[in-house]
Structure 1
Amino acid sequence: MYVEVSASTRKNQKKILEAKRVCDRAGARFTKKRAQIFEIILLADIPLSAYEIADIYNKSCKEKMPPLSVYRILEFFGTLDLVHKLSSNNKFVTCSHISCDHIHDDSQFLICNNCAIATEISMSSKLMRDLKKLVRNAGFALINPQIELQCLCDACSANSKISLS
């Protein structure tokens, strides 16, 4: 897979500018390298690992970046909620709510087991409260409320012989 850096659409440019604003508000710099890594993730059709991101960066940019440096940038973006780590496959996606003007709840993702696309969704506050209550009632303390549901997207489902219920 190859992602051409700087092929952003107007919508993606808005997200890049908002990411820069988030960094500025946090007192952090949105450096050229950070911007390039953010753009690689933003332009990808599917979640990417740090190694995949480093490979795309190294093919697209004049200088090389080791995966460890990519991990540091991803961790930085994660602290600002610009990027989410999918624990089920150790890959990263940009937050789909970056350029929204409202507060967001915990992240939930639908991940296609066939084509690997991931879609961030929002669950109702009531559903999340009920889930947290179930966890407490079971004698557990919720550490990470991010939910990742393994699914088949509509396109893969239409091409599949698997019957879905």
Structure 2
Amino acid sequence: MADHLHHEHHGADLASAAQATLERSGEQWTAMRASIFQALSSFDKPASAYDIADAVSKIEGRRVAANSVYRILDLFVTANLARRVESANAYIANAHPDCLHDCIFLVCDHCGQTVHIDDDKLSRGVRSAAVAAGFAPERPVIEVRGKCADCA
């Protein structure tokens, strides 16, 4: 992984970047996938599949099952459109889906706010340590739990 700067997308620009990234991976950007991504990106904290299913159900005016949302979220994680916060079993939209980095999350135990940061030097160190231990790292996830600046 090379160190570099990247553009963080927001709003409609984020949805366009997500669509382009998904289509480059050979997948289709369907109406349901667009609705789920829109709902996911509207949350200011990590959202569960149930949270997203409820939001999409309200928008669509019909019940959307959480298991359908889980399948699409798994696709989004694989395609780098979303990140999974493992300890919370929740998801956040990736603000730079066109750029692949390992996950480093700062999770506030008080308010739940979660920030995704990129630190390629740290990621390389974690990957190197895993390799040195005879392990083949595929998807390192680092979560730092504590208090955000607002709650500290």
TM-score for both structures, normalised by structure 1: 0.78
User: How far is the alpha carbon of 1:133 from its aligned partner?
Assistant: 2.9
| Aligned counterpart in structure 1 of residue 127 of structure 2, from 121, 126, 132 | 132
The 5-angstrom pairing of residues 64-103 of structure 1 reads: 64-98=63-97, 103=99
SS at match of 1:85: strand
Contact 2:80 2:100 in 1 (8 A): no
Cα distance in 1 between the residues matched to 2:139 and 2:34: 27
CA RMSD of superposed structures (Å): 1.9
**Matched residue, 1:106:** 102
Partner of 1:118: 114
Cα drift, residue 110 of structure 1: 0.6
Q: Which has the higher contact order (CA 8 A, sep 6+)?
A: 2
Distance 1:27 1:62 in 2: 30
What is the TM-score with the length of structure 2 in the denominator? 0.84
Q: Is the 8 A contact 1:96 1:120 kept in 2?
A: no
Count residues with an aligned counterpart: 144
2:137 corresponds to 1:155: no
Amino acid at match of 1:81: N
CA contact (8 A) 1:49 1:92 kept: yes
Q: Which has the larger radius of gyration?
A: 1
Residues 21-40 of structure 1 aligned to structure 2 (within 5 Å): 21-40=20-39
Q: Any conservation in 2 of the 1:84–1:93 contact (CA below 8 Å)? A: yes
Deviation at 1:85, TM superposition (A): 1.0
Q: Percent of pairs identical after alignment?
A: 32
